[in-house]
Amino acid sequence: MNEASSRTLSHADLLQLKRWNTPTIYNGWEQITQHDRTRDGINLEETRDFMPQMGPMVGYAVTVVVEPSNPAHKNHTGAPAEYRRYLASMPGPKIVVVQDLDKPRVIGSLWGEVNANTHRALGCVGTITDGAIRDVDEMTNAGFKALARRLCVGHAWVTPVRWGCPVEVFGQRIEPGQLIHADKHGFLAVPLADEARLLEAARFMDANECNTVIPAARGAAGKPYEQVLAEMDAAGVAFRDAAKQKFSRGGEW
C-alpha cells in the first residue's frame, strides 16, 4: 500500500468521522464492506482506553514493532532517529500502532511523557499498543490518546525494532497507512476499498436510527405496552427498509 497516495478522505472528512463513536462508524462500515464483519477490521481482544475523556481518535496507521525485554536491540543505536525520520515522512494525522513482541508478558513501554510529546510534534494523535503505557497523566496533557493492554512503570530495553510493516495487535492485522477509528469501545481498521463511502454510510445509518427505532423507544412514555410494541415493530421495519433501499442490506434491526 502506498501510504500517501492511497488516501481517499480529506482532513475535513476525518474531522466529521471523529464526531461519532467507533460503534457508529462500524454500523456504517458493515453496510458497505465485503469483509467479514465478525472478524475483519475490529479488535478481537479486549483493549483499554486510558484517555476516554478525549473521545474518539481518527488517523492513518504508522506501524512499529518493539521487544522491551531484549537488550540486544539497543545495539542498533541509530534506530530511534531512523524511525523518527520515517514517522515524519508520513502524512498525518497518524496513529502509531505498536506490536509488543513480549506479549503477554509485557514488562516495558515505548510510551511515556517524552515519546508522547515527540510523536505529537510529528503529527501523531495517539497510539494503539498491545503492550503497555506509562506516564498516563503526562500523555493526556500532551494530547496523545492511548489504547493499550495495561500500565507499567518502566521502559526496560525498548527501542523500535522495525517499522513500516504489517503488525498484529489485539488479534487484528493492521497495514501501514490503514485508516483507523478508535475509542473506549475498541478500534476499527478500515480496509482501503471501504474508505471512500465510510463517512456517507456512517452518517446515513446514524440518521436512520434517529428517524426510526430510537424515537419509537424514547416516545413510549404514557402509552400502553401493546401500542409501544407495535410502534417498535413498525420502526424496525422502517429502519430495515431504509437500509435496504440505500445499501441492499438490512442492518441490525
Q: Is there a single domain that holds both residue 225 and residue 148?
A: no
Q: Is there a single domain that holds both residue 81 and residue 171?
A: yes
Domain holding 47, by residue range, is 11-192
Q: Is there a single domain that holds both residue 146 and residue 73?
A: yes
The CA-based angle 159-161-162, given to 5 degrees, is 135
Query: What's the predicted TM-score (pTM) here?
Result: 0.92
Closest CA to 116 of 135, 102, 89: 135
| 8 A C-beta contact, residue 171 and residue 83 | no
In a domain, 6, yes or no: no
Q: Is there a single domain that holds both residue 139 and residue 53?
A: yes
pLDDT in tens, 54-82: 999 999 999 999 999 999 998 988 999 99
In a domain, 161, yes or no: yes
Q: Is there a single domain that holds both residue 178 and residue 143?
A: yes
Give the separation between CA 129 and CA 142, rounded to whole angstroms: 18
Residue 4 has pLDDT above 80, yes or no: no
Which of the 8 DSSP states describes residue 26? H
Q: Is there a single domain that holds both residue 180 and residue 235?
A: no
Mean of the per-residue pLDDT values of the chain: 94
Q: Which amino acid is at 10?
A: S
pLDDT in tens, 212-221: 999 999 999 9
User: Would you call 37 helix, strand, or coil by DSSP?
Assistant: coil
Q: Compute CA 51 distance to the chain's CA centroid, rounded to the nearest angstrom.
A: 13
> Residue 132 belongs to what H/E stretch?
strand 132-133
Which of the 8 DSSP states describes residue 210? H
Total residue length of the chain: 253
